[in-house]
Every structure is written in C-alpha cells, then in structure tokens.
A and B are shown apart, each in its own frame.
Chain A
C-alpha cells in the first residue's frame, strides 16, 4: 500500500462551478478525515467518517460542501457553486486508531477559484 492518495492534485475552476475531489485511504483504515488548509494556517477540520458513516461535520462547512464515503472505502468531497474564498488545499487523512493522533495524510488537492 502506497499511502493515502488524492485526486486531482491541482484544480483551477471559475467561480460558480462545481468541483469534486477524491480520496483513497490506506486500505485497512476505517476512519477518514477531510481538512482544509490555507497558506500560513494549520489544517482546519471539515468532516469525519467512520466506515461509511459521516459522524461529524464542522459548523464552518456551508451547505455547498458535501462529502460521501460509499461502502466505507474511497471518499469524495464536492463543492458546489465555488467561491474565491474556497481556494485552499484540501487534505484527506485516514487512521486505524482514532485516539492515537496518527493520521496519515495525502498530499492534498489544491483548489484555485478564479
């Protein structure tokens, strides 16, 4: 297993368009997280899955954001009607044990909204 993979690595879109990011976690990891990171800031929590169940969602996440994890495997994060403020790095992480803090991060999907 080569780790957490994210696709696409870079996405440039125009304001108002929809975008979707995909995350493939490490195969035996049942926990999956999405974070957003802007320049000079730490990762900001967006949402968390345990298997296919979305157990927690940030209050900061507007209705334009939706995430799924069908069958508890890969996950998708969709942003509808993108805004310039959505420009950021979207990071996916997976873990086997939720209380050890050992999250395995992907290299991220960088979104630029023009």
Chain B
C-alpha cells in the first residue's frame, strides 16, 4: 500500500537555525513527490514537485531533494514567517490520487 511518513512531527528552531524535514515514502511506481505548506485554518499551498531521484528544487529559503526512498525539505536560515505545517505527498503512476503524510509542524522562534 502506498504510504508516506514524515518526521519529526514537530520542530522548533531559533531564527537563523537551519534544519531539514524528512519524508519517507513507499509507492508502487512513483509519478511524483510533492511538498505543501499549510498555515493554521487554511488549505495547503503548493511548494514543489520532484519526479526522479537526484532532483532538487529551490524557493527562497527552502530546498527540496529526492532519493529513491525519501525526500528532504531543507530550510536555510529560517524566519518566523516560515512557521507552518509542511506536508509531503506522493502520487503513484497507477492512480489519480495524492497520498499525504501527517506533516511536520515547524515553529521558528525570533
């Protein structure tokens, strides 16, 4: 069964303290892996799509990488406005749906 596991569940960082979030996945033929940001009371907001191992994408202080079994979301010198829940999702080649993990709740302290 397709599955996504994210760690840690929660992460507190000082402003400027870089770190990484992990997304491990099991899927029968990966079509794509996706990262979303979700603020409290809002719907998820799309960040990145990664299609194949070795691929990297960057946006401001965020960088997403992909291997055959996991993806990392690296946050460099985070700011308080980066505080949110970060969700990872996968899509299998055989289906239309996207499977989401439970997310990592990031808090950046000024």
Q: List residues of chain A with CB under 8 Å of any chain B CB.
A: 4, 33, 35, 40-45, 48, 50, 55-56, 58, 91, 93, 98-108
Contact = CB atoms under 8 A, between A and B. Distances in A.
Contacts of B98: 33, 45, 101, 103
Interface residues of B, number: 25
A102 B95 contact: no
A55 B94 CA distance: 13
Given A45-B98, A56-B96, A56-B97, A91 B43 contact: yes
Interface in B37-75: 41-46, 49
Contacts of A101: 32-34, 46, 49, 89, 91, 98
Contact of A43 (B44, B49, B96): B44
Given A42-B87, A43-B87, A103 B99 contact: no
Most chain A CB within a 10 A radius of its CB, from B42, B43, B103:
B43
A100 B49 contact: yes
Given A56-B96, A100-B32, 5 more contacts: A40-B102, A43-B87, A43-B100, A101-B46, A102-B34
Given A99-B91, A101-B49, A101-B89, A107 B96 contact: no
A103 B46 contact: yes
